[in-house]
Amino acid sequence: MRAHKLISNSLLASNMRPINVTLDSVTWEYAKEKTNFSAWVRDQLRSERNKRESHKTESQWCRACRGRPAKPGMAYCRSCQIDLGIDMEGEEE
């Protein structure tokens, strides 16, 4: 019987789902050192997600001044576009 079938749904929070992870002998030793391996895995996955989302957020700010939001679909804010001589289509004048 698969391990996740042994886990009673009443033992899991309503938003939790069981999953099996196969470890080799080295990663098994690392996993045993964790107080709560499942929580650690969840934290690592969230951290990875947050890094991806922060890259999206950074690209929304003007590359030149970093103080104002960039125009949608552009790398620069309106003020920096004017200062840099970039027209509204994103091509240099």
Q: Is residue 79 part of a domain?
A: yes
33-62 pLDDT, tens per residue?
A: 999 998 898 888 888 877 776 655 555 788
Q: Is residue 49 part of a domain?
A: no
On whether the CB atoms of residues 19 and 4 are closer than 8 A, the answer is yes
Q: Is residue 70 part of a domain?
A: yes
Domain that holds residue 78: 60-93
Question: How many domains, in total, are found in the chain?
Answer: 1
Q: Is residue 45 part of a domain?
A: no
16-31 pLDDT, tens per residue?
A: 788 888 999 999 999 9
DSSP string, 18-30: -------HHHHHH
Q: Is residue 90 part of a domain?
A: yes
Q: What is the pTM of this model?
A: 0.45
